[in-house]
Structure 1
Amino acid sequence: MREPAWRKSGKTPDYRFSLANERTFLAWIRTALALLAGAVAIDQLAPNIAPQPVRIVLCVVLSIIGAGLATLAYRRWAQMEAAMRNDQGPALLAGHAAHDHRGGRGGLHLCGIDPGGALNGEARDPGLQPERTTLAWRRTLISLLVVDLFLWRRWLSAKAGAGQISTGIPGLDYQGICALTAAAATIVLGCVVWTRSRQLHHGVEEASAVLMLVSALSIVALGCAAVAAIALGD
């Protein structure tokens, strides 16, 4: 996959802003995973919370919203990166805030950026920004593992013939396909986390748009697997 056209425009932004934007993307992804985890947890651990049709609809809606947030996370990240490259939009306001001693410092601190370093060009961040970003990727992978395990639990604990539809493959039903899809999403995101961690370790601060897109698509795939597993139901 090629990098998008906007990656070739403008200038490379301050790496601290890029990493802050990357961590915001991961926060959106973890929010999506929290919705997916809530959906599969309600479906499996609280079957009597509501009548079955209501419960299924609730869990499916939560899963769809979670998958939608993953796509929104990538779209927002790309918009902010493009804006920073071309000194446009909300990203520019963060740069202007650095000149405001009354309000700018607080806003930049919220992004994990030292305003003193932004103003004076001093090296005030000896590796902490990349380390925080690496940890954010690892937390995201752990969050995905929770959803993955719930989907595997549903498949392995399902009663024979209960809510299962044969695929024609011996030993594998549609619940199994959902579990395997979740496992594939986990492997894909694990590869992204490994690759991005190595990049940050070697000083590559700007994230590849391809890696960000692949990570978002893995969450969408996980959301689809959750919807299918819940809809195939008890």
Structure 2
Amino acid sequence: MAIEYRRILLKLSGEALAGDQGYGIDPQVITGIASEIKEVVELGVQVALVIGGGNIFRGLAASSKGMDRASADYMGMLATCMNSLAMQDALEKQGVDTRVQSAIEMQQIAEPYIRRRAVRHLEKGRVVIFSAGTGNPYFTTDTAASLRAMEINAEVILKATKVDGVYTADPMKDSDAVKLPTLTYLEVLQKGLQVMDATATSLCMDNNLPMVIFDLTQRGNIRKVVQGDQIGTIVKGGDTE
């Protein structure tokens, strides 16, 4: 069985953990995601995770209502830590070794983020969950995912969403929307496509790191991506083939 990617960074939104309830963490949903990650780990793939915090607290939304942006962003980073601990618990219940590393030091619950240690954990087959974003306000967890992927030499970022790729328009609202199987970073930036935010996309472009946008709600999709199946949308440099 061919494996296309040996070391991946999986980016999950906080909302992905909330399921249909829209807020908080749905135990059934997080258990399902954990079992899919376990399948991929058992193939010998090294997996790192970055999880957003939107199911608990959104810094940008709070700052638009008058809260100080930096304070709001730090609260959002703490929300990602709660999600990371929940994911760690779900993975370990299924026998997967994990480590949570936090960009904000909190020794009782997580290791500090140390790049070499993270790489060592991956080499030993542990899933590493990067929490607290980059540790800086004004940067999203998308940007944290791009940065950490670069630092650990991941071969690809897998961006999990609720749709099976990038479309010319919102497929829920526009029946004429067409799926785009491949895109360049420049196309994403120029067309303002909601793939990753502009900072994250620029980081990937500068370092030629491919991104695959795929549907997390379809079981088995993470495995399909690492095995090189053409699902979702791949964003990479140069001309699209």
Q: What's the TM-score, normalizing by structure 1? A: 0.28
- Which structure has more relative contact order (CA 8 Å, sep 6+)? It is 1
Pair member with larger Rg: 1
Tell me which protein shows more strand as a share of its residues: 2
TM-score by length of structure 2 reads 0.27
Larger proportion of helix: 1
